[in-house]
Structure 1
């Protein structure tokens, strides 16, 4: 299983759980349910950031390689 598939699976599971919690919360205020929704929202934010980072890595390459190329181009520009 690749990284993006794993991230998507976890996002889907957490999103489904969040829907269940919102339905439970609609029946009446419960601080434990509200806290769990908040935790899920934070985790989903982290997962989407990881998803974007992984897509960027796939598209543009490893971060170290990108930095190395940028520094080499900068040195060439200064030498010209």
Structure 2
């Protein structure tokens, strides 16, 4: 997913969550409470995915970063 797609999904789920909180304010409903918890977990996953994707776009693939860091370490030890 692209950062824009992830952000759009975050917005959609946040709006759905807001509606559920409004529903829950009318009275305790265990099913609604459980659905809010599931949406919260999904939002955490999406925020993490967004951070990872932004880092990947900015710095490159993780394997490339590790490869460059190891090469720099070898050069430092050789110096």
**Runs (5+) with no aligned partner, structure 1:** none
How far residue 5 of structure 1 moved from its aligned partner, in angstroms, is 1.0
How far residue 13 of structure 1 moved from its aligned partner, in angstroms, is 0.6
Name the structure 2 match of 1:66. Answer: 65
Give the RMSD, CA atoms, in angstroms.
0.8
Q: Aligned pair count?
A: 79
Deviation >4 Å, runs of 4+: none
TM-score by length of 1: 0.96
Equivalent residue of 1:25, what SS?
helix
Name the structure 2 match of 1:34. Answer: 33
Name the structure 1 match of 2:11. Answer: 12
**Runs (5+) with no aligned partner, structure 2:** none
